[in-house]
């Protein structure tokens, strides 16, 4: 009995973790199929042992894609999911159940693609799109109308004279392969993490706060479900053909099927033909065509009885594991990589596959030189999903996760509740050092031209730089000594480094390699906190008040600044002239109130940070200087001005002005 309880709890924990990875992080750690298998096992156990049921079990909830920052709307008809099957015989069984449910009559079925994107519900009134809502938790979703308006294939105004006054249409927002490949290429060049598959890219894009960027990425939408009281026809297929006439994209793979044989043939055909389609699919959907029959069959708690999904098997190959290598990333996380005997898998030769983390190695129980199954299930990076234990040599040793960093030898650590092991030697571990520099110079970060991955490595290995702040001390003659450089190209690199001091503050935050702080979060932080001094001093609670910042990000920021070394690097960047505050001139008018004045800032302030005052002085034509001299016009003084400064100011007769007076000076001018 306790064993069963343990199994139930183990399954719940894993499913919760996978749900989080899938819905919140957009980075699934297992295939849909494995997920479904675990969910089915848990459902069965809970049914059999109701005494262990728990209202918080993952079986009682559908995942949610609700995001802070969007308003929410309740679906008029809940957005259910479909029951999944993985074999032709399971589909045939479903047809059998439908026939039974209809009193022995074989209904006309519709076969269609299961497009792999993110589902959307569109509401039209008087032929116009009025609202677009994501699936959310099935009951309530995010209103993403602004972003959906940018999708060119979605009609905003319908054509035709038979359009119901009000109706809802559902479909899938997808990122076609071409757009997906282009987006990932851009991200690769910018040193940003790649999207694992078009589904994550589509849902991530749809949830962006910047609709111009959404428009640029090239989303598309295909529709498969018309709902409402006054639909034009009494069957699904004809309704979809009418919707196509109104202006919606309806896939022409949609086909009427009249027998089990035709269903099986449809599966056989599309199992391979789907690879020719311009967008990702993860299966097929079969639906009863007649709306009257659909009503008769009805719904279970989670899904309609009149429809079923057939999921394609991920393409799989069997090959030999040569060895496992352990690779260190920019943030110190160790990724185990299976190096394989090269094998052909859906058109490409696979030599390496991710083993994700120590837990997965353990779960697979992988041994040296095992024959392993490699899968490419919609994901671009192939993964090892199983081991052929029958082919194992008797004396093969299990693969052990390393205990020390393969690059620097430090003892690895892992945070409670996290799967990833990381090397704590942030400052002495080469791949981390190099990785952070590569990131810092990236196009979307400080945009320093001429330093690619190889140059970053050479600079570190030749001890010319150890961290990003050292870049600003590099001289052209030093760079010119590196292979591939001449004095001219080295000078260009130095110019590029100098030009990076003009890069806006939000990108400086992003460039620092604070774990989990990506491009969007950096922008939100910059807008909310305005300058680095404030950011450095913030508590978790204050940080979490910023849009898109949760406990994990808040903790990462606090950890980052609690390291002496990071604070020192940031200080050195500031001295080098890198922007440590948003440009004040952007939100306050530029004036000449302080033209030609030399001003010293001293002490701590209430209304603005020192960086902001510095920017204000400059925006109004003044000059902020460090030390008090005869030439100083006045001192902008906050609380706790140092005694030596006070004394010096007194001696030289330099006026001391508090912040209220200072702000009034600017206002009055």
Kindly list the catalytic residues: 114
Nearer to ligand IVH, 8 or 120 (CB): 120
Phi and psi at 375, nearest 5°, equal -125, 150
In the complex, the smallest distance separating the C-beta of residue 303 from ligand IVH, rounded to whole angstroms, is: 7
- By CB under 6 A, is residue 209 in contact with ligand IVH? no
- By CB under 6 A, is residue 119 in contact with ligand IVH? yes
- By CB under 6 A, is residue 588 in contact with ligand IVH? no
**Contact region with ligand IVH (CB under 6 A), list: 109-117, 189-197, 240-248, 636-644:** 109-117
Residue 301-320 contact track with ligand IVH, rule CB under 6 A, x = bound:
---x--x-x-----------
Nearer to ligand IVH, 278 or 424 (CB): 278
In the complex, the smallest distance separating the C-beta of residue 277 from ligand IVH, rounded to whole angstroms, is: 12
In the complex, the smallest distance separating the C-beta of residue 299 from ligand IVH, rounded to whole angstroms, is: 8
Nearer to ligand IVH, 111 or 232 (CB): 111
Cβ 142 vs Cβ 118: under 8 Å:
no
- By CB under 6 A, is residue 80 in contact with ligand IVH? yes
Query: Which residue among 285, 384, 434, 460 contacts ligand IVH (CB under 6 A)?
Result: 285
Q: How does DSSP classify residue 279?
A: S
In the complex, the smallest distance separating the C-beta of residue 80 from ligand IVH, rounded to whole angstroms, is: 5
- By CB under 6 A, is residue 270 in contact with ligand IVH? no
Could you tell me which residues come within 8 angstroms of residue 185 by beta carbon, excluding any fewer than 6 positions away? Answer: none
Q: Residue of minimal CB distance from ligand IVH?
A: 119
CA distances from 16 to 3, 165, 380 (A): 20, 42, 24
Of 114, 400, 107, 62, the residue nearest 267 (C-alpha): 114
- CB 462: neighbour CB atoms within 10 A? 11
Nearer to ligand IVH, 113 or 637 (CB): 113
**Contact region with ligand IVH (CB under 6 A), list: 78-86, 323-331, 551-559, 608-616:** 78-86
- By CB under 6 A, is residue 289 in contact with ligand IVH? no
Of 364, 363, 343, the residue nearest 352 (C-alpha): 343
Query: Which residue among 167, 195, 225, 440 contacts ligand IVH (CB under 6 A)?
Result: 225
In the complex, the smallest distance separating the C-beta of residue 91 from ligand IVH, rounded to whole angstroms, is: 14
SS3 134: strand
Report how many helices (DSSP H) and strands (DSSP E) the chain contains, helices first: 25, 22
- By CB under 6 A, is residue 144 in contact with ligand IVH? no
> What beta strand segments (E) does 187-243 contain?
220-227
Size of site (CB under 6 A) for ligand IVH: 16
Helix (H) or strand (E) holding 521: helix 519-529
Token pair listed for 490: 């080295």
**Contact region with ligand IVH (CB under 6 A), list: 48-56, 111-119, 174-182, 265-273:** 111-119
Nearer to ligand IVH, 80 or 380 (CB): 80
SS3 140: strand
Nearer to ligand IVH, 171 or 603 (CB): 171
Helix (H) or strand (E) holding 47: helix 32-48
In the complex, the smallest distance separating the C-beta of residue 291 from ligand IVH, rounded to whole angstroms, is: 13
Of residues 20-59, which lie at the interface with ligand IVH (CB under 6 A)?
none
Query: Which residue among 172, 370, 467, 533 contacts ligand IVH (CB under 6 A)?
Result: 172
Query: Which residue among 22, 180, 224, 421 contacts ligand IVH (CB under 6 A)?
Result: 224
In the complex, the smallest distance separating the C-beta of residue 153 from ligand IVH, rounded to whole angstroms, is: 16
Radius of gyration of the chain measured on its C-alpha atoms? 30
**Contact region with ligand IVH (CB under 6 A), list: 96-104, 107-115, 557-565, 588-596:** 107-115
Q: Which residues pair with 120 in a beta bridge?
A: 134, 171
Tokens 């030189």 belong to residue: 369
Of 83, 39, 36, 79, the residue nearest 57 (C-alpha): 39
Of residues 331-390, which lie at the interface with ligand IVH (CB under 6 A)?
none
In the complex, the smallest distance separating the C-beta of residue 304 from ligand IVH, rounded to whole angstroms, is: 5
Query: Which residue among 15, 42, 82, 328 contacts ligand IVH (CB under 6 A)?
Result: 82
Cβ 494 vs Cβ 514: under 8 Å:
no
CA distances from 153 to 51, 247, 585 (A): 51, 9, 40
Q: How far apart are CA 494 and CA 477, in angstroms?
A: 10
SS3 219: coil
> What beta strand segments (E) does 292-370 contain?
307-311, 315-328, 334-345, 348-354
- By CB under 6 A, is residue 81 in contact with ligand IVH? yes
Rounded (10°) CA dihedral 473, 476, 478, 484: 130
Query: Which residue among 35, 115, 605, 613 contacts ligand IVH (CB under 6 A)?
Result: 115
Q: How far apart are CA 207 and CA 86, in angstroms?
A: 30
Query: Which residue among 32, 46, 112, 659 contacts ligand IVH (CB under 6 A)?
Result: 112
Nearer to ligand IVH, 120 or 517 (CB): 120
- By CB under 6 A, is residue 114 in contact with ligand IVH? yes
- By CB under 6 A, is residue 205 in contact with ligand IVH? no
Phi and psi at 96, nearest 5°, equal -60, -45
In the complex, the smallest distance separating the C-beta of residue 262 from ligand IVH, rounded to whole angstroms, is: 17
Nearer to ligand IVH, 285 or 617 (CB): 285
Nearer to ligand IVH, 286 or 634 (CB): 286
Phi and psi at 406, nearest 5°, equal -65, -20
How many Cα atoms occupy the beta-carbon half-sphere of 556 within 13 Å? Answer: 17
Q: How far apart are CA 218 and CA 175, in angstroms?
A: 7
Nearer to ligand IVH, 17 or 83 (CB): 83
Token pair listed for 8: 């139930």
Binding site for ligand IVH (CB under 6 A): 80-82, 112-115, 119, 135, 172, 224-225, 285, 304, 307, 309
């Amino acid at each position: 009995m306790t064993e069963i309880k343990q199994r139930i709890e183990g399954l719940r924990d894993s499913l919760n973790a996978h749900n989080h990875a899938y819905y919140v992080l957009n980075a699934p750690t297992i295939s849909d199929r494995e997920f479904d298998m675990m969910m089915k096992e848990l459902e069965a156990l809970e049914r059999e042992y109701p005494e262990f049921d728990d209202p918080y079990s993952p079986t009682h909830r559908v995942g949610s894609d609700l995001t802070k920052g969007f308003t929410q709307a309740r679906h008029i008809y809940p957005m259910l999911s479909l029951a999944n099957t993985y074999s032709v015989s399971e589909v045939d069984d479903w047809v059998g159940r439908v026939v039974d449910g209809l009193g022995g009559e074989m209904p006309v079925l519709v076969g269609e693609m299961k497009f792999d994107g993110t589902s959307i519900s569109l509401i039209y009134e008087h032929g116009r799109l009025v609202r677009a809502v994501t699936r959310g938790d099935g009951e309530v979703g995010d209103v993403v109308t602004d972003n959906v308006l940018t999708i060119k294939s979605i009609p905003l105004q319908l054509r035709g004279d038979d359009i119901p006054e009000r109706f809802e249409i559902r479909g899938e927002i997808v990122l076609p392969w071409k757009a997906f490949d282009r987006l990932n290429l851009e991200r690769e060049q910018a040193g940003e993490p790649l999207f694992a598959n078009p589904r994550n890219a589509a849902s991530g894009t749809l949830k962006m706060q910047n609709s111009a960027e959404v428009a640029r990425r090239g989303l598309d939408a295909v529709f498969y479900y018309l709902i409402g009281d006054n639909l034009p026809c009494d069957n699904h297929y004809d309704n979809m053909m009418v919707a196509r006439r109104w202006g919606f994209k309806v896939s022409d793979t949609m086909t009427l099927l009249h027998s089990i044989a035709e269903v099986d043939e449809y599966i056989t055909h599309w199992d391979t033909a789907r690879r020719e389609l311009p967008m990702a699919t993860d299966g097929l959907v079969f639906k009863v065509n007649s709306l009257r029959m659909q009503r008769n069959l009805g719904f279970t708690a989670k899904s309609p009885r009149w429809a079923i999904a057939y999921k394609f098997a991920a393409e799989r190959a069997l090959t030999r594991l040569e060895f496992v290598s352990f690779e260190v990333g920019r943030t110190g996380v160790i990724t185990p990589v299976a190096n394989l005997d090269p094998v052909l898998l859906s058109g490409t030769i696979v030599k390496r596959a991710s083993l994700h983390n120590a837990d997965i190695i353990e779960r697979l129980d992988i041994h040296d030189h095992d024959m392993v199954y490699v899968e490419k299930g919609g994901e671009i990076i192939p993964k090892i999903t199983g081991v052929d234990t029958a082919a194992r040599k008797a004396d093969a040793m299990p693969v052990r996760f390393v205990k020390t960093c393969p690059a620097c030898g430090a003892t690895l650590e892992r945070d409670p509740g996290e799967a990833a092991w990381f090397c704590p030697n942030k400052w002495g571990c080469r791949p981390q050092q190099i990785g952070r520099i590569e990131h810092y110079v990236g196009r979307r970060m400080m945009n320093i031209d001429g330093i690619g991955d190889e140059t970053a490595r050479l600079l570190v290995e030749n001890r010319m730089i150890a961290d990003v702040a050292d870049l600003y001390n590099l001289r052209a003659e030093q760079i010119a000594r590196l292979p591939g450089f001449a004095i001219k190209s080295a000078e260009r690199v130095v110019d590029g480094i100098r030009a990076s001091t003009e890069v806006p503050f939000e990108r400086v935050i992003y460039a620092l390699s604070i774990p989990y702080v990506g491009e969007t979060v950096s922008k939100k932080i910059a807008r909310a906190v305005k300058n680095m001094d404030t950011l450095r001093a913030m508590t978790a609670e204050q940080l979490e008040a910023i849009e898109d910042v949760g406990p994990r990000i808040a903790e990462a920021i606090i950890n980052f600044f609690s390291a002496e070394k990071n604070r020192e690097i940031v200080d050195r960047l500031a001295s080098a002239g890198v922007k440590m505050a948003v440009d004040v001139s952007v939100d306050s008018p530029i004036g000449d109130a302080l033209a030609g004045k030399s001003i010293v800032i001293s002490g701590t302030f209430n209304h603005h940070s020192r960086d902001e005052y510095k920017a204000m002085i400059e925006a109004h034509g003044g000059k902020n200087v460090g030390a008090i001299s005869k030439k100083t016009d006045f001192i902008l003084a906050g609380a706790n001005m140092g005694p030596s400064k006070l004394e010096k100011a007194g001696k030289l007769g330099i006026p001391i002005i508090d912040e209220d007076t200072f702000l009034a000076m600017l206002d009055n001018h």
